[in-house]
């Protein structure tokens, strides 16, 4: 998984300077777009979030 999967297009942000192209605070609702009950039945937001290095 790349940063852009959750945070948006950082390259485009860098080229344009448009801050709205990058989401800094990604919440559970964003994660749930991919981590559905069908796709990721063991997903626990707090547990996964704690594993992120940022």
Q: What residues have CB less than 8 Å from 13, skipping those under 6 apart?
A: 19, 21, 22
Q: Could you give the CA distance from residue 6 to residue 27 in angstroms, rounded to a whole number? A: 9
What is the tally of structural domains in the chain? 1
Q: Could you give the CA distance from residue 12 to residue 14 in angstroms, rounded to a whole number? A: 5
18 is in which domain, residue-wise? 3-51
pTM exceeds 0.75 for this model: no
Which pLDDT score, from 0 to 100, does residue 24 have?
Answer: 83
Q: What is the pLDDT of residues 12-47, one digit of tens each?
A: 888 898 888 888 888 899 899 999 999 999 999 999
Q: What residues have CB less than 8 Å from 29, skipping those under 6 apart?
A: none
């Amino acid at each position: 998984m790349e940063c852009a999967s959750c945070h948006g297009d950082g390259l485009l942000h860098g080229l344009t300077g448009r801050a709205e192209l990058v989401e800094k605070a990604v919440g559970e609702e964003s994660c749930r777009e991919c981590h559905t009950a069908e796709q990721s039945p063991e997903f626990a937001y707090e547990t996964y979030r704690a594993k992120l290095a940022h």
